[in-house]
Amino acid sequence: MKRLDGWVTAPLGFIAAGVKAGIKISGSYDVAVIYSTVPASCGAVFTQNKICAAPVLVSRKVNQNGHARAIVVNSGCANACTGEQGLLDAESMQRHVAELLTIDSDEVFVCSTGVIGQFLPMGKLLEGINAAVEALDDNGGETCAMAIQTTDTFIKHGVYEGEIGGRTVKIAGIAKGAGMIHPNMATMLTFITTDALVAPGVLQQAVKEAADKSFNMVVIDGDTSTNDSMIVLANGLAENACITSETHPDYVAFLELLTACAMDLAKMIARDGEGATKFLEVNVTGAASAADAKTAAMAIAKSPLVKTAFFGEDPNWGRILCAAGYSGAEMDADKAALSIGGVMLVENGLNCNVPRSELKWIMAEHDISMSVDLGVGSEKATVWTCDFSYEYVKINGEYRT
């Protein structure tokens, strides 16, 4: 397996485009289309928020079919909390793309992101879809990735290549997300293409497994969005033997490729947390169960006190152990251990009395790893997050103004 530079058009048979339709006040790219030139299997996971956006309702139905050809996305308006009109607008987006590409409506996923509670400007949006479909080609991956962004400060994309069944297979993805990030399922938008040949039901299982190991291990602020969607299209042009079950000899190799791409994108989201100045990796070991390990890691990663301490470069490690302790995970306080940047600060529940001056250089780094041992078992988990800065409050306090 190797990582390449590229876009969602890197796998065979995929074209894409992003355009400026005037939906965003900034005038930036805001409508995108991704298209497989041949039929493709699909797999997807969506937000579990009970207040879910109209496009999520439409896309869930598409995913039930197991096959799809296109994804249409707009940024600048979430089309959430918009009632029946919102649903009609999402279906109109779907039909319009289908007509332009001469495919069935139920082969088109629909996604939106932006401010909640506003209706889509359908005139601008439909004109934007016209322009995006007209611009579709294998060089449109970058503008496509730009068009799905909201408060992101950089484009999130990646391509992985590996051998499956003696054939070269590529998996490529783009994602958006910087705030309102909390697992349940992926808490952002991500679109992944691959030329691997995978049966629909098997692809769905692989997508869920990959999401659990990547996007479900990222937290920025503890808020789960209304529009979260992770969609994967697999068109089979790599001509590998079809992966027909989880016991197929090539399933593990495919899952590893998919997970690598998803994990890469997930870490980019954590690095780009709104106002972030630090990328934080939280490792929990010694847990009684995998669920407990994740629970403790998430509690640490979500803690405003932990996150602000790292922003202030203050090695206030008591906040980290405190979060693990209240998380609900089983823990033996007399066996607990904690290290930051490889420096042991707590062992067997006791302060190692490391001088603060010795941690100054670690806390000044951009990428910081911490490890907590719960002292009760052998399970572990890793969660990625970022710090909380003054800028986070500014961005979200002024999001609509």
Q: Which residues are catalytic?
A: 187
Look up tokens 């995929």; give the residue: 14
Q: How far apart are CA 241 and CA 167, in angstroms?
A: 9
Residue 235 DSSP class: -
CB contact at 8 A, 69 and 42? no
Angle at 310 between CA 389 and CA 397, to 5 degrees: 15
- Considering only CA atoms, which of 207, 230, 173 is closest in space to residue 9? 173
CB 208 within 8 A of CB 258: no
Cβ 75 vs Cβ 114: under 8 Å: yes
**In a 3-state reduction of DSSP, which class is residue 98?**
helix
Q: Which residue has the tokens 């209240």?
A: 326
Phi and psi at 227, nearest 5°, equal -120, 5
CB 288 within 8 A of CB 377: yes
Name residue 70's beta-bridge partners: 35, 108
- The CA distances from residue 332 to 48, 191, 286, 340, 342, in Å, are 33, 41, 10, 20, 21
Instruction: For residues 304 and 192, give the distance between their C-alpha atoms in angstroms, rounded to a whole number.
Output: 32
- Give 234's strand partners: 41, 194
Mapped onto helix, strand or coil, the DSSP state of residue 220 is: coil
Which two tokens mark 338? 């904690």
The answer to whether residues 108 and 62 touch, using CB atoms and an 8 Å cutoff, is yes
Q: Report d(CA 215, CA 142) in Å as an integer.
A: 22
- Tell me which residue has tokens 């250089």: 361
